[in-house]
Amino acid sequence: MPNIRLGLCQTNPIVGDISGNVDEIFRRCKKAAESGVNLAVFGEMSITGYPVEDLVTRHGFVADAEVAVSELATRLANEKLGHMAVVVGAPSLASKVNGWAIAHNTAFVIHGGGIIAKYNKHHLPNYSVFDEYRNFVPDDEFVAFNFNEHKVALVICEDIWQNGGPVASISNNQVDLTLVLNGSPFEVDKDDRRQILVQNLATKQKTAVAYVNLFGGQDDLVFDGDSMFVDSSGTVIARASQFTEDLVMVDFNRGIATLASRHSQLKSSDGLWQVWNALSLGLRDYVQKNGFKSVVLGLSGGIDSAVVAAIATDAIGAENVYGISMPSRYSSDHSKSDAQILADNLGCHFETIPIRNMVSTFESDLPLTALASENIQARIRGMILMAQSNNSGHLVLTTGNKTELAVGYSTIYGDSVGGFAPIKDIEKTLVWKLAIWRNNQNAAKGLGELIPENSISKPPSAELRPDQTDQDSLPEYGVLDEILELYIGMRLGFDEIVSGGFDPEVVRRVIDLVDRAEWKRRQGAIGPKITSMAFGRDRRLPITNKYKG
């Protein structure tokens, strides 16, 4: 049998940038062909980016995507790459209702200047962040094509996470190789689950499996790549890097697979390494794909803004990060100095804009209760950041963590302002861990401290009144995060949480805080999802809601 040299191509498409994505796919095919690849496989919806959400209900969008696939076929043939089989993902029109497109989520096989096979996704995820049953129609047909005397089957992402459908027909059809196109977002520990899933598919369906995932940030999702090749015995032959572009090459012949690429794989079983890279990639791509060049954020001297500034520096370079210290009369000396030290350590821009005058004017012109007065301070800071954004085009980063967001411990239109929230899915206790981890990374390289030790060790405070600390208003963060995980992550109720040994009064207070903050969360910036239950489209609850169970 002729050999298949398979290229697992991890690309980072931009949603809606069809011509840009096609150019990138073409460039990658050309490069892969130079290394002898004759079967290049790209991720789910690699032509349009993923997820496209309601864009796919526009007839013109689906038509443009389908034309782009045909043009890519022609272009590959014209450039003497017609001998390669190239597998890409795009929507395809199933029907039109009232002028709106009803589309399949499709894998196209390009060969010899044309499209030789098409597979439509069967299982449409409609849980968590996914709305595919809203946006696509399922199909039920098993599809395989012959290439270099091998039988090659196609399936898409969710098809291998559910039972039944075309995946179940693979072994009956004596398939040599199954290509799985994926748009599988990162979650902590998902890489382990994926590998088991792919191995089970290989051994149960008696097929080698090439699993190709996208990488890159798209709004609140981060695709981590982590493509892999598993032979029919379940052995992992190759695994791609996480959070970066990659091309993994595998030679495949009569069931025997050997790694054909030598590459220094960027992947780590270290969960904190993964989270940091997910946040950094998510931020970088939000900035770049939306045409920003720089970010601005408030540096309070606290741990949250320090971690966000460090992530931003890793993501887009210190020269593009603008930190602003905005001390009030309640700001401690250590706040100001910790912010300055952080900026010095990072090498980012730093400016101090005291808010005292502005606060005084509001206080003299308006009657303000204690709460209103605290919020005024936070909102003046928000206005300053937004003004800097207006002045210089920076993207404003908001620095709230998941714990704050959960219990509403933030000022809406104040510290919550911004277009992107890098740590919105990071609970407070994890923020500390990330800070320590990142400092350790520096230490391991013989570099100096990045995040000031004092920002890590001091008691957290919003500093909106004298001697305030977070624990005046909230339970100790270790306990709080545990309760939040049970209530939000596990969707347990009051009785179930209390039966875990927590103080009923504390549990009731936490649940009430979470429920009452729903309106604020709805108005919050998006940020990268890294858990199985992030705020946003992952957790859809009414604002008007009297359920207390």
**Candidate residues 272, 368, 479, 506; the one interacting with a copy of itself per rule CB under 8 A:** 368
Dihedral pair phi/psi, residue 67, rounded to 5° = -60, -40
**Candidate residues 387, 440, 443, 505; the one interacting with a copy of itself per rule CB under 8 A:** 387
Closest CA to 237 of 247, 224, 251: 251
The answer to whether the beta carbons of residues 529 and 187 sit under 8 Å apart is: yes
CA distance 293 to 45: 27
Using rule CB under 8 A, residue 522 touches a copy of itself? yes
Using rule CB under 8 A, residue 96 touches a copy of itself? no
Q: In what order do the strands lie in the sheet with 236-239?
A: 144-147, 150-156, 177-182, 208-213, 228-230, 236-239
**Candidate residues 88, 299, 376, 517; the one interacting with a copy of itself per rule CB under 8 A:** 376
Using rule CB under 8 A, residue 102 touches a copy of itself? no
Using rule CB under 8 A, residue 547 touches a copy of itself? yes
Using rule CB under 8 A, residue 369 touches a copy of itself? yes
Cis, bond preceding 138 (omega within 30 deg of 0): no
Nearer of residues 248 and 359 to a copy of itself, judged by Cβ: 359
The answer to whether the beta carbons of residues 256 and 26 sit under 8 Å apart is: no
The answer to whether the beta carbons of residues 407 and 385 sit under 8 Å apart is: no
- Which pair of tokens denotes residue 547? 């359920």
Q: Find the angle CA(20)-CA(267)-CA(194) to the nearest 5 degrees.
A: 80
- Which pair of tokens denotes residue 3? 């050999």
- Least distance (Å) between residue 354 CB and a copy of itself: 8
Query: What DSSP designation does 426 have?
Result: S
The residue from 157, 158, 336, 463 that is catalytic is 157
Nearer of residues 269 and 357 to a copy of itself, judged by Cβ: 357
**Candidate residues 196, 256, 366, 447; the one interacting with a copy of itself per rule CB under 8 A:** 366
Q: Please name every residue paired with 526 in a beta bridge, in sequence order, or none if there are none.
A: 420
Residue numbers 32-61 binding a copy of itself by CB under 8 A: 51-55, 57-61
CA distance 75 to 124: 31
Using rule CB under 8 A, residue 196 touches a copy of itself? no
Residue numbers 104-133 binding a copy of itself by CB under 8 A: 126-127, 131, 133
Q: What is the helix (H) or strand (E) element at residue 209, kind and residue range? A: strand 208-213
| Maximum Cα interatomic distance, the chain, rounded to a whole number of Å | 86
Residue numbers 388-407 binding a copy of itself by CB under 8 A: 390-391
- Write the interaction track for a copy of itself spanning residues 431-470; mark x where CB under 8 A is met and - where it is not: ----------------------------------------
**Candidate residues 9, 339, 525, 530; the one interacting with a copy of itself per rule CB under 8 A:** 525
Using rule CB under 8 A, residue 219 touches a copy of itself? yes
- Least distance (Å) between residue 9 CB and a copy of itself: 21
The answer to whether the beta carbons of residues 366 and 401 sit under 8 Å apart is: no
CA distance 285 to 228: 23
9: annotated active-site residue: no
Query: What DSSP designation does 36 have?
Result: T
Query: What DSSP designation does 486 have?
Result: I
Selected range binding a copy of itself among 264-272, 295-303, 360-368, 473-481, rule: CB under 8 A: 360-368
CA distance 363 to 372: 10
96: annotated active-site residue: no
Concatenated DSSP letters of 52-64: -GGGGGSHHHHHH
- Write the interaction track for a copy of itself spanning residues 271-300; mark x where CB under 8 A is met and - where it is not: --------------xx--xx----------
Using rule CB under 8 A, residue 190 touches a copy of itself? no
Q: Find the angle CA(114)-CA(118)-CA(121) to the nearest 5 degrees.
A: 155
**Candidate residues 161, 330, 413, 437; the one interacting with a copy of itself per rule CB under 8 A:** 413
Residue numbers 479-518 binding a copy of itself by CB under 8 A: 490-493, 495-496
**Candidate residues 31, 64, 168, 253; the one interacting with a copy of itself per rule CB under 8 A:** 64
Using rule CB under 8 A, residue 161 touches a copy of itself? no
Using rule CB under 8 A, residue 208 touches a copy of itself? no
Using rule CB under 8 A, residue 256 touches a copy of itself? no
Q: Please name every residue paired with 103 in a beta bridge, in sequence order, or none if there are none.
A: 93, 136
121: annotated active-site residue: yes
Burial of 518 (0-12, 13-18, 19+ CB in 10 A): middle
The residue from 9, 24, 29, 44 that is catalytic is 44
- Least distance (Å) between residue 6 CB and a copy of itself: 30
CA distance 56 to 188: 29
Using rule CB under 8 A, residue 542 touches a copy of itself? yes
Selected range binding a copy of itself among 11-19, 164-172, 272-280, 439-447, rule: CB under 8 A: 11-19
**Candidate residues 168, 272, 353, 436; the one interacting with a copy of itself per rule CB under 8 A:** 353
Burial of 333 (0-12, 13-18, 19+ CB in 10 A): exposed
Selected range binding a copy of itself among 72-80, 334-342, 377-385, 448-456, rule: CB under 8 A: 377-385
Nearer of residues 412 and 450 to a copy of itself, judged by Cβ: 412
Selected range binding a copy of itself among 153-161, 187-195, 256-264, 379-387, rule: CB under 8 A: 379-387
The residue from 121, 267, 428, 529 that is catalytic is 121
Burial of 197 (0-12, 13-18, 19+ CB in 10 A): middle
- Residues annotated as part of the active site: 44, 121, 157
